[in-house]
Structures are given as structure tokens and as C-alpha cells.
């Protein structure tokens, strides 16, 4: 009986491990895709000062389809929750450092990069359909939008690779 239970626990742990690796890799791909397509479109739109796109199109779409909630569930909550569950199930089965990184890197990214640069507040302002009037704030948004998403995608990719290599 103990052997069957051990096999079941091991199988469940392996499922969490696999989903963790996949969710980290998918999040990396999502961030890189954002840079190539939507983030670049936003850069272009803001450089043209086309605030109507945000006020008349994107913000209403975002509200109506509850995009913010869906996005938040997909990134960061989904990968973070899976990483926590995988760490609990696999702390003795795989190297600890990559598992811990999968849990802590997104909160650290927010605390050390996304929020302190001022980008987080500006991103929400723009996405909510509120134009940025201050030229310095526009410059801040344009300066940080793509690099921060490249950093985020790179961090997710490094974590996924580190998990795979252990």
C-alpha cells in the first residue's frame, strides 16, 4: 500500500513540476510576444499621441472583457501559484534554487524594476484610457515599456531553463 501511495505522490509531484516548467516557459513567450507585437504597437501609438485609441477602443475593450483580471490570473498569479505548489511537492526531488527562483523572482521584479521605474503606474494609467499629459511621463513610459518586458521574459526563460536543467 505504501508503495502505491508513494508512486501516486511522486506522479502528482511530477505533474506540478512539468506544469511549472511549462508555465514559466509560456510566460516567457508571452512577454517576448508582447514586446514584438502589442508593446511595439503601444509604443507607436503613444509616440503619435493617439490617445483616442486608448480612450475609445482599448480601455472599453479591456473593461468589457475583464482583460485585466484575466491577464492577472494568467500572469503572474498562474505561474506563481504553480511554482508554489511545485515547490511544496518537489522540494526534495529537484534542486531547490530554481524552484525558489520560480516563486520569488516575479515579486522581486515588481519591487525592484516595474514599480520603482514609475512604469507600473503609467502602464495602468494608459491601459485604463487616461492619457499622459506630462512629456517626462510619456518619455518614462516609452523608455521602460519594452526593456522591462524583455527583462520579464528573460527572467521567466532563465527560470524555465534552470528548472529543466535540474
User: What is the spatial distance between Cα 27 and Cα 109, in angstroms, rounded to a whole number?
Assistant: 14
Domain that holds residue 63: 2-164
Please tell me the predicted confidence (pLDDT) of residue 115: 97
pTM above 0.75?
A: yes
Per the structure, the count of domains in the chain is 1
> How confident is the model at residue 2, as a pLDDT?
73
Kindly report, residue by residue over 66-93, the tens digit of the pLDDT. Answer: 999 998 888 889 999 999 999 999 999 9
Residue 1, pLDDT score: 60
What is the reported pLDDT for 151?
98
Residue 25's pLDDT is: 98
Q: Which residues of the chain have a pLDDT value below 70?
A: 1
Amino acid at each position: 500500500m505504501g508503495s502505491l501511495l508513494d508512486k501516486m505522490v511522486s506522479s502528482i509531484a511530477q505533474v506540478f513540476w512539468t506544469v511549472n516548467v511549462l508555465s514559466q516557459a509560456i510566460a516567457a513567450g508571452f512577454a517576448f510576444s508582447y514586446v514584438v507585437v502589442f508593446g511595439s504597437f503601444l509604443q507607436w501609438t503613444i509616440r503619435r499621441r493617439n490617445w483616442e485609441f486608448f480612450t475609445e477602443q482599448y480601455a472599453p475593450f479591456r473593461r468589457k472583457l475583464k482583460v485585466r483580471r484575466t491577464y492577472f490570473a494568467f500572469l503572474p498569479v498562474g505561474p506563481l501559484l504553480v511554482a508554489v505548489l511545485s515547490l511544496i511537492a518537489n522540494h526534495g526531488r529537484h534542486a531547490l534554487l530554481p524552484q525558489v527562483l520560480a516563486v520569488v523572482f516575479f515579486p522581486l521584479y515588481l519591487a525592484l524594476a516595474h514599480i520603482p521605474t514609475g512604469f507600473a503606474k503609467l502602464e495602468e494609467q494608459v491601459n485604463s484610457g487616461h492619457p499622459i499629459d506630462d512629456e517626462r511621463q510619456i518619455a518614462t513610459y516609452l523608455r521602460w515599456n519594452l526593456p522591462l518586458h524583455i527583462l520579464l521574459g528573460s527572467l521567466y526563460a532563465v527560470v524555465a531553463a534552470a528548472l529543466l536543467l535540474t
